[in-house]
Amino acid sequence: MLVYYFILAIAISGTMMLFKNRILNIGLACLFILVQIAISVVAVSHHEVIDSVYFKFDSLGILLTIVLAFLTPVTFYHSYLYLKRYTPLAGRQSIYWGALVMLIAAMTGAYFAENVALLWVCIEATTLFVTILVFHSRSKTSLEASWKYLFISSIGVAIAFMGILFLTAISVESGPKSLSLADLISNSQTMNPIWLKIAFILVLAGFSIKLSIFPLFAAAIDAKTLAPSPVNALMSSALVNVGFVGIFRFYCIIAQTEAVGWAQNVLMITGIISIFLAAIQLFKVKRFTRMYAFSTMEHMGIVCLALFAGGPGYYAAILHVVLHAFVKSGLFYQLGQSNYIFRSIWIKDSGAYFKINPMGALVVLTGFFSITAIPPSGLFVSEFLIFKALFLKNHIMVAVLALIFLTVIMFEIGRFVFHLLYDEKPAHLDENNLQINRYETISQFLLFGFAIYLGYNPPGFLIELMNSAIAILN
């Protein structure tokens, strides 16, 4: 089934780029939305079924594809608004639409890849399409950011590929010659632990650019600073989830061995450093896009701590990834509207947003409470579970240190958000020529509502999927 999905995605993307017709692009975008929803439905109905030899509709893949199915129509709607405002040329619109379709298809492939080599291919494919989308504005700064992302991301993925090569070598020595995740997990205890540790380090370092964590976070931050807001929404949610999948798959392999404690310590160090760097960098940010990009880094650092805690922390990690995707994408969608109103992404060029756009300001305020995990935010639930797991495992110093950094981050984000909401109106703003779309905020309220509902009252099938995804770890 996934083979047909990829064929359709390539056909839709190619047609968009070839014919360069606005009406055709919108029609094909609507068709792809239906295709994306359809593959999610097929995945749910074929739970744990191998598809097209190298793909599997496993619980984690299904869960994250459902999230992507929710985000796809919203991203396409806000992309339509973005292109209408900034990109009159049909040719550049077509490139944008075609690259966006292929990015979503590549992320879907990464979610379901059951072969680690194919997982690597899909993650590398996302690099290419993100680079095209970051360069959409054709500015000098976007060119620099896109090349930097392409270069460093390619290096990172190449480092991860070296980890896969190490894994291939030790798996052949221990018996199986398949790079199937199931085979690698079942034979992990026979692998050389030293080489397995090296492979895990390489994979963690390589895929860190996708997860926006230490050490390769810088290029991802720069790309998110200059990418179109709908692309930013996907990069900070669904693409971050791709990075999580890549690291989580390899963690599942090493978790079956005696090296699991060592791997958890590596994740703890990575998580603490990521949160610390996010806290430090937030003192220096001057653009809202960069602020939210470092917020993503903070939350993925928390996810690393959840994996370090183990036990109930595994469940909390996956829940946190899901809830963060809804909240962070909603914030970036709203950022697209505020950027259009102020004609700037710079913090200094904003102010008095409650007077200018009350509904948009309410989204920003709700988003602030949501992303900083202040009740009734759904992220409060997942963060509470993560810190509960840390305290239960007696990792008190780690938990306290993380809480100190999170307090600093909350203060810094609050400082910038309240500047946007309540500071004086910027002098360059002409309120007489403002065009505010009152319906643009609906999607953000819905996404924040999803996060609150899923945090406090997750449906049974969602709990089953998350428990199934971590069953191999428990």
Dihedral, CA atoms, 266, 194, 207, 102, nearest 10 degrees? -150
Cα separation, 49 vs 428, in Å, equals 58
Give the residue carrying structure tokens 């779309």: 437
pLDDT at position 177 is: 61
Res 464: pLDDT: 97
Which letter does DSSP use for residue 431 in this model? G
Domain ranges of the chain: 269-474
Write down the pLDDT at residue 10. Answer: 97
CA-CA distance, 383 to 184, in Å (whole number)? 31
Strand-pairing partners, residue 113, are 55
Half-sphere exposure of 280 (CA within 13 A, CB side): 6
The reported pLDDT for the residue numbered 88 is 84
Tell me the three state secondary structure of residue 250.
Answer: helix
Q: Show the CA angle centred on residue 117, arms to residues 474 and 306, nearest 5°.
A: 30
Series of mean pLDDT values for 10-residue runs along the chain (474 residues): 96 95 95 98 95 93 98 98 90 96 98 96 97 94 93 95 89 68 89 93 97 94 94 97 98 95 98 98 95 97 98 97 98 96 93 95 97 96 98 97 97 97 88 83 97 96 96 88
Please give the pLDDT value at position 173: 62
Residue 108 identity: T
The amino acid present at 186, given as its one-letter code, is S
Distances (CA, A) of 433 to 302, 323, 360, 421, 428: 43, 37, 17, 20, 12
**Contact between residue 208 and residue 215 where contact means Cβ atoms under 8 Å apart:** yes
**Whether pTM exceeds 0.85:** yes
Instruction: Give the list of residues 6+ apart from residue 318 with CB closer than 8 angstroms, or none.
Output: 60, 63, 466, 469, 470
With tokens 């946190």, the residue in question is 320
Please state, in angstroms and rounded to a whole number, the distance separating the CA atoms of residues 442 and 85: 19
Decide if 282 contacts 216 (C-beta within 8 A).
Answer: no
- The tokens 């370092």 sit on which residue? 205
pLDDT of residue 350: 94
Alpha helices (runs of H) in 20-115, residue ranges in sequence order: 22-45, 59-86, 90-112
Biggest CA–CA distance in the chain, Å, is 72
CA distances from 244 to 32, 133, 390, 392, 422 (A): 25, 22, 20, 24, 36
Sign of the Cα pseudo-torsion (234, 239, 244, 249, in order): positive
DSSP lists the bridge partners of residue 346 as 287
Sign of dihedral through CA atoms 459, 298, 314, 377?
negative
